[in-house]
Structure 1
Amino acid sequence: MSPKHGLLALVVMLIWGANFVVIDEGLSDVPPLLFLAMRFVLVAFPLVFFVRPPQAPWRTVVAIGAFMSLGQFSLLYLALDLGMPAGLASLVLQAQVILTIVIAAIVLREPPTGRQVVGAFLGTAGLVLVVVAHGISAPVVPVLVILCAALSWATGNVIARKAGVSSGFSLVVWSALVVPLPALGLSLVIDGSDEVGRALTHLSGVALASTAYTAIGASVIGYGIWNSLLARYPASAVVPYVLLVPVVGILAAWIVQSEVPTALEVVGGAVMLAGVAIATRATRGPRPGPTPEAPIVPSRPAGSASLPR
């Protein structure tokens, strides 16, 4: 990869890593599911009028939007609202790599390579350390909610894989349409119409800036750069950059929110990322790729079709 494009990849990692803190700050003024609806309205409109629909059946687009966007991010936002540290959330969400390998092996009958198995075991061991370390000093429920978010993301990966869909920019835009109405409806049920109305009529500058950052910065700009890099270079040259996202996320939370991870969390995180690195470099496969919050999709086993981008 050229120095220029390597720098662009680093810029995307900075955008995605800081995104967790930006979301967390915005949640101080807006209920989580309402905040999610606001974000995806901005992702979809007005781009949906200018971007061609993805070349995939509508049921597939809806399913991917339901799991990769609505399921993953509603649970992420809820976990942050419940007190999940933003930096730790950026790390634990990468459990989707391991879960994707497991689900694909069960549902699609695609046996993982030996290196993927090693990476999955190592990543799981690191994840257990992180959960135990966090549970010593804080409630473990938000961590479990983040793991459910990772499971939803992994399910979306497998759906896209089975349908042979690559998650290009058009899929990001059109699948975003799945999110706003269900998220708003759930917010009305959970938070009540009075709270939703109050939040919408008293949006702070922080909430508006956070919404713009997550939608335009993390989704539109981040994906635009990322997909262009995947079009130019092999996945093996691009995807490893995503391992920097939780590093940036933890540092950003440390600087902005004084969130200092414990020694055991650091050790567990390092072990988990080592496992993810091994799993994602298992083969020289086609282009796996991200969602706005630092996606990593493992390379396919030799002889199988590509996993989603």
Structure 2
Amino acid sequence: MFVALLIVLIWGTNFIAIFVALKSYPPFLLSAIRFGLSALPWVFILPKPKAPFRFVLGYGIFNFALQFGFLFSGIHLGLSPGLASLLLQVSVFFSMGLAFLFFKEKPSFLKVVGSLISFVGIGIVAAHIDGQATLIGLVLTLLAAFAWSAGNMFTKKVNAQSPLALVVWGNLIAFPIMVVASMTMEGPALMEHSLQNTSWATVAAVFYIVYISTHIGYGAWGFLLKSYSASAVVPFTLLIPVIGFLSSAIFLGEDLLWWKILASLFIMGGLVFGLLEGEVRRLFKISTSKKKEKYLPVDGG
């Protein structure tokens, strides 16, 4: 739980760094810089993951190239960092569905109920989005959420000696894809102009995105996914928008409106409901057993 909450804190504040970096770099160029710095020179140090190349390729394409290409573009085209952090959590539902289809990890009834409670929070955002985001920004962020979910499935297929090695090699795969995308869609002239006008704030933002969010965040995330089921790990990401909203309000002055707070409460409530599944089942079992056995010991006592 400590590792999961640390990842939530890192990824929740990462949206601030993305917003700052996008002031200087277009989205595909920023993605290429992120992937290049995340991969090099680490690929010469860390071992290649032991898995068929198609799994590593799928991991790099979905978890990095597609997810961040869509996410950076969505924020660049009008979606605020706080809302982006919230809408990206639709990946929870995608991940549970894909885990059931490919790994037969059937989520429990209480986890489904917890997810539905959280989905109410996402519905509140959709109902109040109004002029705070463009439709294209919303659609691109939802596509990023699906890409992240698909990438999680490849994470479970790859037998990496270390989660960090998988992250590094995944970034190496995404790097040339984003370089080509930036040169084709943004153009060499814009790329050169952006690099020549890099500020210290942008350098700090890129450092956070690469070494804190990518190396530490995704390395720890890969460890959790390899150690526990997707339905147990993925719901922690529902806390990311809470950190995203608060950090956006503090550092960027994003309005913390009542409906954002309400949506966050539903999302947190759904997460807590799912996490307390074991306690709920245990208490229910104890209460029913007491009818049959008067002196039933509790917790081995």
* Range class of TM-score, shorter chain: 0.7 to 0.9
Contact 2:114 2:271 in 1 (8 A): yes
Deviation at 1:159, TM superposition (A): 3.3
2:288 is aligned to none
Report the TM-score, using the length of structure 1 for normalisation: 0.78
- Shift in alpha-carbon separation, 1:184–1:283, aligned structure 2, 3 A: farther
2:191 is aligned to 196
Contact 1:96 1:150 in 2 (8 A): yes
Q: What are the superposed Cα offsets for residues 41-64 of structure 1, whole Å, 9 maximum, x if unpaired? A: 111111111111112111101101
Q: How far, CA to CA, are the matches of 1:106 and 1:200 in structure 2?
A: 43
Q: Within the alignment, does 1:68 sit opposite 2:63 as a pair?
A: yes
The residue type paired with residue 145 of structure 2 is A
Deviation at 1:125, TM superposition (A): 2.4
1:31 is aligned to 26
1:152 is aligned to 147
* Alignment match of 2:169 (pick from 148, 151, 174): 174
1:126 is aligned to 121
Task: Summarize the alignment of residues 77-96 of structure 1 with structure 2, pairs less than 5 Å apart.
Answer: 77-96=72-91
Q: Within the alignment, does 1:267 sit opposite 2:279 as a pair?
A: no
Give me the CA root mean square deviation: 3.2
Deviation at 1:256, TM superposition (A): 1.2
Q: What are the superposed Cα offsets for residues 33-80 of structure 1, whole Å, 9 maximum, x if unpaired? A: 100110111111111111111121111011011111111111110111
Deviation at 1:16, TM superposition (A): 2.4
Rg comparison, structure with higher value: 2
Q: How far, CA to CA, are the matches of 2:95 and 2:228 in structure 1?
A: 23
Unaligned regions of 5+ residues in structure 1, if any?
Answer: 285-309
Q: Within the alignment, does 1:248 sit opposite 2:234 as a pair?
A: no
User: Percent identity, aligned pairs only?
Assistant: 33
- Shift in alpha-carbon separation, 1:25–1:136, aligned structure 2, 3 A: closer
Unaligned regions of 5+ residues in structure 2, if any?
Answer: 280-301
Number of matched pairs: 278
Deviation at 1:277, TM superposition (A): 4.2
1:139 is aligned to 134
1:214 is aligned to 209
Contact 2:114 2:270 in 1 (8 A): yes
- Shift in alpha-carbon separation, 1:87–1:157, aligned structure 2, 3 A: same
Give the stretch that moved more between structures: 201-210 or 27-36. Answer: 201-210
